[in-house]
Structure formats: C-alpha cells, structure tokens
Amino acid sequence: MFAALAERSISVTMISQSDSEASICVVLPEVDAARAEGAIRAAFRADLAAGLIEDVRVRPHVGIIAAVGLGMAHTTGIAGRLLTSLGDARVNVIAIAQGSSELNISVAIDGSHVDRAIEAVHRTFGLAQKDTGRDAHTGLDLLLLGGGRIARELLTQLRSRQAHIEARFGLVVRLVGVADSSGFLLEPSGLSPERIDGLVQAKASGDPIHTLPGGVRGTAAELVAAAREWRLSRPIVVDVTDANDHDRLFLSAFEAGYDVVTANKKPLAGSEASYRALQAATADGSRLLKAETTVGAGLPVVDTLEMLHATGDRLLGAFGSLSGTLAYLMAELEGGAKLSVAVERAKELGYTEPDPVADLSGVDVARKAIILGRISGLAPHAEVHLEGLVDASLAGCSHEELMATLRTLDPVFERRIAEAAERGAVLRYAARVQKDRIEVGPIEVGRSEPLGQLQGSDNLIVFTSERYSERPLVVSGPGAGVAVTAMGVLGDILRIAAERR
Amino acid sequence: MFAALAERSISVTMISQSDSEASICVVLPEVDAARAEGAIRAAFRADLAAGLIEDVRVRPHVGIIAAVGLGMAHTTGIAGRLLTSLGDARVNVIAIAQGSSELNISVAIDGSHVDRAIEAVHRTFGLAQKDTGRDAHTGLDLLLLGGGRIARELLTQLRSRQAHIEARFGLVVRLVGVADSSGFLLEPSGLSPERIDGLVQAKASGDPIHTLPGGVRGTAAELVAAAREWRLSRPIVVDVTDANDHDRLFLSAFEAGYDVVTANKKPLAGSEASYRALQAATADGSRLLKAETTVGAGLPVVDTLEMLHATGDRLLGAFGSLSGTLAYLMAELEGGAKLSVAVERAKELGYTEPDPVADLSGVDVARKAIILGRISGLAPHAEVHLEGLVDASLAGCSHEELMATLRTLDPVFERRIAEAAERGAVLRYAARVQKDRIEVGPIEVGRSEPLGQLQGSDNLIVFTSERYSERPLVVSGPGAGVAVTAMGVLGDILRIAAERR
C-alpha cells in the first residue's frame, strides 16, 4: 500500500494500524483522496477480488489535532487528558497515533469538530495561559482578597491544615495571589512559607501590599485578571473584604473557571439581577460559590439552609438575632441601661465598628437577612422592611451628634422595653425572613421562645420548615470573631477541595 | 521501509506515524528486531549516510495493551479513560494507535508495566464485572439496606429530588438493590419507578422483600456481595437498618470501591478495632463514609463536628440531650409526674420503642456519645460511664415487671429532682463527652444553661472547642422522626454526589 502511494507521490500524514492487524488507516490530503483510493485498489485488485481484502474506504473531511511538546516525554497522562477532553467535548475521534518519541500525539477527527476540539484542548491544557512551573495536577491555588485580621488568621489556619489537606484530598494549597485595598501581589507558582510569613507580619504592622516585594498598585479585580493569564490549578477566589463591587469580580472568576469562597456579604446582598447572575453562573455545579460565613460566621447556618433546600424541604421562616453587637445592646437595655450609655460602653469594649452607625442602622443585619431569603428561595425578591436603632443616614456623623441622637431615643427604648415586659415579652434586634417578606428591627418575642432566651452577644437562628414545623431547628453561638470566621472560610475551602479532588 | 520488512517476511503488529511525519514507529515481534533493524538500515543506507534519516532505533521489551470491543464505536471517551487509567497507574506509554474502525485501540507500553497496565484497565472498565446495560458515566447507584419507614420515606424524597440531582450534579440516581431482614432484591440496571412504587407499597403493608418479584432470601451482606459482580456506577450502600454486624459489610463495600451512608449507629459504635478499620478504609478520602443522622437525625451535628475537626479546631467537650424520648420523660418528671406514669404515657403516645427498656437503659444514647467521641477525636478510646434510668438487663421483661421496677424508682427520681431544684438546677438525661471520658445518664445542669432551657423532646448539643471556648456552639431541634432522618440520609447522599460528580 505504501509503495503504491509513494509511486504516485502521495504524502501520508498519519498512519495507524492497531494490534488487530485487521485494518490499516492512513490520513492524507483530501485532494489526493481519489487518486490514493485508485492506487490502492489497483495495487490490491487481486486481493480485493479474492476477498482477502474486504474493502478500501475513503472518509472525507477529516481534521487532525496534534499535541506537540518536549514536556510530553516526561509527563504521564497527557494522552489520557487530551482524549478525555475530546470525549467530553463530544468530538468524534477517527484515529489516534502516537509514535515512540512521545513528543507528538495525533488525533484524526471529524472535520466539522475541529473548532470545538481545539477549544477543548486549549482549555484542558490552558494553552492560552502561561506555565507556572508547578505541578498543575495536585494544586489548590488561592487568590486571597483582603489583608485584614481574618485574612491573616486564615493564612495561619491554612498552614496548620496543609498536611491534613494533602492526606485527605491529595492537594497542595498554594497562595498564588493576595490583594488589599492598596494593591496586589501575584506569584503564580505560589508564595513560599517565608513570603507568607513576611506578608502576614507586614499586614499586621499596617504596611500596604503594594509596598511589599513583588507588590503592585491595583485592584482585586485586576489581580484576578492578571491571574487569568496563568495556568492555575483549581483556583479559588477567597473574598474576606467588605468591598461593594465584587459581584462582577465573582462573575469574571466564574468565567475563568474559578470557584469562589466569600465572607463578604455585599456581592450576595446586592441587586437582585446581580444575585441572579451569580446563581446562573453556578447553577450546573461546574462553578462553586460557598458563603457559609456571610451569616453567623463559623456557625452552620448557610450550609444547613442549603441542605434543607437541596433535600427538598421547604423553609417556612428564618428568624434570628444575626448581630452580636445589637444582641449585646438589647441585653444591656433589658438590664436597665440607657441606649446612649450602652452604645458608648460597646464602643469602648471594641464591640462596634469604628463608626457605630454601621451596626446601629441594622444595614449589615439586613444584608444577612437578604442572603437567607435568597439562598432558601423563600424571599428572593423581597425588599427589607428595616428599622434601625438609628437611621443609616447618620453614618459618618460626629460622636457628639450620634450621642445627641441616641439620647433622644433613650426614653423611646425605655418605654418599648417596659411595654414588652408587661406583655411577658422581651425586645430583640432580629431578622425575620418569611415568604416574600423580610423584616429587620427591634422585635418583641416571648421570653420562653428560643430567641427570648438568647444571652449576651450570641447569634441565634431559628429555622421553621415543612419538616421542622412543630419544633424548629435552632443554631446558636458566637456569630462573629476572627478565629471562627477564618475557620468558616477554611471549611468552605475544604468543601471545594473535596468536590474538586 | 514496509517493503523492506515485507521482503524478509517480518510481520508488523502496530504502526504509528504522527502528524509531524518526523518519525515512524512500528511494533514487531522481539525475535525479529535485529533482522528488522538490519533490513531498514540496508534499505535506507543512502538516506542515513546523507543525514536525511537521523537514526534507526530499537527499543526492546515492549508490550501491547489492546482494548477491543464493538461498543467502543459508539462510546466517546473510551480512549481517554483507557489512557488516563494507564497514566494514573504510571504506565510508560510508548506508542498509541487507533484505526478508523474505532473497534480497537492499541497502546505499546514498557514490557515491565504490562501486569499493572492490565490491572488498571480491568479496574477502570470493570472488566471482571458484568455489564448492567446502563450508562456507567452518569449513574449514582444506591444499595438500600432497610425496608422500614425511613427507607420508604427516603425513596419518596429521592424521587422528588431526581431532577435537582441531575441538574446540579449531572447524575441519575438509580436504586439497584434493596434488602430487609428477610432477603433482598438486586436489579443492577436500576429498579423502574413502578417497581419502586410497588416495593414501597409492599413494605408498607408488611410484605417481606423475598416475596416480591425478583426478591430472594438472603442477608444485606449477600446483597452487597451479589452487587459486586456488576459494574455499578458510583455505588453507595445506604444503611437505615439497626443491624449489629454491618461494620464488616461496610468494610467489604469500601473494598469494592463503594461509599457508605449510614443512619445505623451500631457499626460506628462497636469495638474500637472495628471503628479503626472503618477509619483506615476512608482515611485517604478515596472512600466516603457519611453518618450525619447517627446523632440528632437531620440536625447538623456530625457534619459540624467533622468541620470543626477538619479546620483544625480542637473540641473540648460535647454535652447534650440526644434522646427525644428521655428528654420528654425528664420534662415530665420536672413537671411533677412519677417516672412510672411518665413512661406509661410515653409508651401510649408512641414515643418509646416497643420495648421501652431500649430507651430507658440509655444504651442508644451511649452509642451516639461514642460516635461523637470518636469523630471528634476527643475520646476515641473511652468507655462509657452509663447510668440508665433502668438497667439494660431488663430488656425483654414483661410490662408488669418493668412497671414494678419503675415504681421502686419513682421516689428516687422525685428526690433527685427536688434536690436539683434546691440547687437551682434541673435534671437532664444527658451525654457528656470530654477528653478521654464519656458520661451518659441523668445529669444536673443549671437552669440558665442551654441544656437547662431545653423544652419538650428536642435534642440539643453544646459544643465547646478552642475556638468556641467562651461561648459554645449550640444546635437544637427535633433529633428523631422519619422525615428529618430520611432528609439527613439524602443530604449525605447529595454530599457524596457532589464529591463524586
């Protein structure tokens, strides 16, 4: 056959004869196909007539995908990944050949599948991206947004769990990028433990990231954009900032095939359209969005709600105290303190944000309530009926101005607490999520109800559902704090590691 | 080249020339290697001298793995799976050829790797097993042990979530086997919805499985053994029995590559050696064991504990009320009822097991406490200090005998409750898991403690850990019931679906 083709100067691109020896397949230029068929039929006329050769078949419109690279010689599994990616893309594979040099594997495919084959192969091997020089098979690459206390605690916890993650999931955690409000640092092969230590120390002493070795000025979104040029392994964006505009950043991360873990409530509590876009990006499970710490920090709130939802239970209501600061204030009021005095004390104890209005306005609680309403599907479109202890418009006012306002409110709350007590009830700053309705504000609850028994600054969330209808499912405990928040974020990372293993 | 080989009657087994046309590779019998090299060198003497052909190289000791099958022609991705399995097994692949018939793919490999290549390929394609005739790529195959109310509710819930599981994980849930204490039914291609309906109805009316169409007499272990002969897809053993000896069954399931979801406490609460064996089988994460419902039914107890542990928190103590029946009885006693009267009432209300001693002895609570101690790593070796309301040896005694015993205990508990009240405390039937110590029995707790505030028949578990040290993490709610237990089991199945997607 080869002699017959050579005689007519027909060049053969690919040859494949498998172990069965029952057929031999050559790929050659389509313009030569008819001549080649003629030549072969002529050469084997007698064999064809005698039935020794069954047939000579021509298949038109064939393309060849060839993966070429010196690195292939020492990397097992390239062929497997290549063919798996073609299979996943439903590319019709006609013939495969890989010679003993191992530097080239050729796959003849249906010509109409060439475009999607190229796309699939590029995606699988990240061919548009730069090589990090690290093993791409076992990495769990983190882009950390935020350089505050939670970020630093997370880095410490991560280091202590590295051996566990390797043993349990066979994955090596690498910090490939980190951003604060000043700039970012991108090290696609992973920051060394020494550089992470330096980073943690520098951030603890207040140095902005853009001043660190390798740091540049820029935004978190620019970090993600810069990271996309590199071939990362199971990349996860971890957001522990409180930036407003990260919904778009999350979408671009999903587009790049990244997963997202967020402690930042704002991207999930923004406009309904932006939440829907995040939902759409993650609906088929190919991208993961984990947000356990957006409500109740490390307490099992979001996962519990997602599990109720996933198993087909229908939430009837979520009712709870979602702010430790406000729980503390309400407990103080119940103990007889004036609102203005209680706020002053809370501020001194470091329980409030630097601007206490951020807590007192209830806006942060409202965000958590919106997230509960959306995740549960119970109130995806609801506006929040929000009653703050003070109005959010006071934000940024002077301490004196705030205190003056609070003093005017002192008698109001004194009266409300007393009236509640007459009815055997107590006043709690609570969020109530019901079918298409979300309320946030000081709410009277019976003393014997779970929320009425709440003590100190704990969070407490009461879930009522079709399956938990007579008696609710209740989760309570500290709903804020650096260690438990970082732990919740780490838990989300571990869930992704389990799913991406 | 082929002419030169043909002239010397050297038969070529495999040919591979890739798209680069820079080399051509043939595999032929090792005995012919020297003659073949000579023939080729002779044929290309001039080209070799002129440097047009660089070299002729012989690689000895080559084996060929050929995957052959009519089914290959219509199944995309066979080549990918074959080569991935060889890559994973670190088999050195020298050349690959697949002709256009697609019925055969040949892989030339290092001769010393033949054994492990064959093993890897057999494992990947389950060649020692029988074909179920169903798509093996997208299945989530369940073997359900148990035919009681939880099993039936689980089947109902599963059906209602099938669309969700397909959309979210791309997996089709199939019930391939089910066992009760009488026998089992194995349908490797999956029971049809109609047969599942029939099964649910038959079990609801008390018919044993061995009497159903396709049912045979046999044990759950025999079902698993029979299932192993089939090529199942992501098989999960789901145990909702209360059988004693399923630890061995779980081990054999893990050996077969199955995952396990259990609501059955006994396999996890048995001997320390048997628990260690289960731990060893699942340590590297290649086999999954989920047991959320063994403590607190659908409440997020086991997963919360596992998450604390996985994120590096150290549990200091777990303290809680883990039996709805005993919580009800203690509440009745606190309300002034006599123990004997309260037990009679609980039995009438259907709150107790048919033999109330099973509840009253505290043995079931002890099992839950052992599981908490083991999962948390807090008390893996601890014996339980168990004080039952009655002794476990009373099991199986007559109603009269039990009542007589309880009446002798009436004044004892009256006194204990009164003494507790004098100290401002209440008596709870509780489990306390501490470092290397587990206590189960009636325990005095302060009225203002979370457990002191517990109402009715709820479960309540208080976790204290390094990170939840000042204030604990508390989960409470109904810790028993058919719907919430089935839901917890389904949740575990969904977690496995996410990890196996």
How many contacts, defined by CB atoms under 8 Å, are there between A and B? 319
Q: What pTM, to 2 d.p., does this model score?
A: 0.86
Q: What are phi and psi of B97, to 5 degrees?
A: -145, 130
What whole-number distance in Å separates Cα of residue B176 and Cα of residue B395? 37
**For A84, nearest residue in chain B (alpha carbons):** B80
Contact B471 A456 (CB under 8 A): yes
A chain contacts of residue B13, beta-carbon cutoff 8 Å: 19, 21
Which pLDDT tens digits describe chain B residue by residue (501 residues)? 888 888 899 888 888 877 665 778 889 999 999 999 999 999 999 999 999 888 999 999 999 988 877 565 545 567 778 888 888 888 888 888 877 665 678 889 999 999 889 888 888 887 778 888 787 778 999 999 999 999 999 999 999 999 999 999 989 999 999 999 999 999 999 999 999 999 999 999 999 999 999 999 999 999 999 999 998 999 999 999 999 999 999 999 999 999 999 999 999 999 999 999 999 999 988 899 999 999 999 999 999 999 999 999 999 999 999 999 999 999 999 999 999 999 999 988 888 888 899 899 999 999 999 999 999 999 999 989 999 999 999 998 999 999 999 999 999 999 999 999 999 999 999 999 999 999 999 999 998 888 988 878 899 999 999 999 999 999 999 999 999 999 999 999 999 999 998
Closest listed residue to residue A150, CA positions, set A189, A180, A184, A183: A180
Q: Is the pLDDT of residue A385 over 60?
A: yes
B chain contacts of residue A82, beta-carbon cutoff 8 Å: 80
Q: Is B105 on the interface with A (CB under 8 A)?
A: yes
pLDDT at residue number A87:
83
pLDDT at residue number A135:
74
Which tokens belong to B15?
A: 């040919």
Count of positions (residues) in chain A: 501
> What three-state secondary structure class fits A137?
coil
Q: What angle do CA B394, B347, B352 make, to 5 degrees?
A: 70
What whole-number distance in Å separates Cα of residue B382 and Cα of residue B57? 66
Structure confidence by residue, pLDDT tens digits, A247-289: 999 999 999 999 999 999 999 999 999 999 999 999 988 899 9
Which of A17-21, A63-67, B285-289 is least confident? A17-21
Q: Looking at the annotation, which residues of A are catalytic?
A: 368
Identity of the residue in B76, B285, B448 whose CB atom sits nearest the CB atom of A90? B76
Q: Nearest C-alpha of chain A: how many angstroms from B453? A: 8
B chain contacts of residue A100, beta-carbon cutoff 8 Å: 16, 23, 25, 57, 59, 94-95, 108
Identity of the residue in A81, A104, A458 whose CB atom sits nearest the CB atom of B84? A81
pLDDT band at A127; cut points 50, 70, 90:
confident
Identity of the residue in A99, A453, A475 whose CB atom sits nearest the CB atom of B25? A99
Contact A98 B98 (CB under 8 A): no
Identity of the residue in A79, A284, A458 whose CB atom sits nearest the CB atom of B471? A458
What whole-number distance in Å separates Cα of residue B203 and Cα of residue A454? 45
> What three-state secondary structure class fits B373?
helix
Phi/psi region, residue A9 (left: phi>0; alpha: psi -120 to 50; beta: rest), is left
B chain contacts of residue A448, beta-carbon cutoff 8 Å: 455
What whole-number distance in Å separates Cα of residue B101 and Cα of residue A18? 10
Identity of the residue in A18, A77, A453 whose CB atom sits nearest the CB atom of B104? A18
Structure confidence by residue, pLDDT tens digits, A304-359: 999 999 999 999 999 999 999 999 999 999 999 999 999 999 988 888 888 899 89
Q: Is the pLDDT of residue A137 over 80?
A: no
pLDDT band at A121; cut points 50, 70, 90:
confident
Contact A106 B477 (CB under 8 A): no
**For A164, nearest residue in chain B (alpha carbons):** B310
Mutate to test the interface with B, among A25, A64, A96, A159 (most CBs of B within 10 A): A96
pLDDT at residue number B94:
85
Q: How are strands ordered across the β-sheet holding A62-68?
A: A62-68, A104-110, A93-98, B93-98, B104-110, B62-68
Identity of the residue in B160, B310, B484 whose CB atom sits nearest the CB atom of A468? B484
Contact B311 A161 (CB under 8 A): yes
B chain contacts of residue A93, beta-carbon cutoff 8 Å: 76, 79, 98, 102
Q: What is the DSSP string of B93-149?
A: EEEEEE-TT-SEEEEEEEGGGHHHHHHHHHHHHTTTSB--SS-SSSEEEEEEE--SH
Structure confidence by residue, pLDDT tens digits, A409-448: 999 999 999 999 999 999 999 999 999 999 999 999 998 8
What whole-number distance in Å separates Cα of residue B339 and Cα of residue B341? 5
Q: Is A138 on the interface with B (CB under 8 A)?
A: no
What is the 8-class DSSP label of residue B44?
A: T
Contact A98 B16 (CB under 8 A): yes
Contact A164 B310 (CB under 8 A): yes
pLDDT at residue number B77:
67
Catalytic residue among B130, B290, B368, B435: B368
* Half-sphere exposure for A145 (CA within 13 Å, toward CB): 27
One-letter-per-residue 3-state SS of A418-465: HHHHHCCEEEEEEEEEECCEEEEEEEEEECCCCHHHCCCCCEEEEEEE
Contact A157 B312 (CB under 8 A): yes
pLDDT at residue number A68:
77
Q: Is the pLDDT of residue A241 over 60?
A: yes
Over range A451-463, report the average pLDDT: 90
Contact A307 B458 (CB under 8 A): no
* ipTM of model: 0.85
B chain contacts of residue A473, beta-carbon cutoff 8 Å: 298-299, 475-478
pLDDT at residue number B20:
62
**For B94, nearest residue in chain A (alpha carbons):** A100
Identity (one letter) of the amino acid at B427? L
pLDDT at residue number A430:
97
Q: Nearest C-alpha of chain A: how many angstroms from B134? A: 18
Closest listed residue to residue A469, CA positions, set B477, B350, B489: B477
Over range A454-476, report the average pLDDT: 93
Over range A51-60, report the average pLDDT: 90
Query: Bridge-partner residues for B14, per DSSP?
Result: B27
Q: Nearest C-alpha of chain B: how many angstroms from A28? A: 10
Q: Is A407 on the interface with B (CB under 8 A)?
A: no
pLDDT at residue number B76:
55
Contact A79 B93 (CB under 8 A): yes
pLDDT at residue number A360:
95
Rg (CA), chain A: 31
A chain contacts of residue B98, beta-carbon cutoff 8 Å: 16, 18, 93, 95-97
Which tokens belong to A23?
A: 């057929």
A chain contacts of residue B298, beta-carbon cutoff 8 Å: 467-468, 473
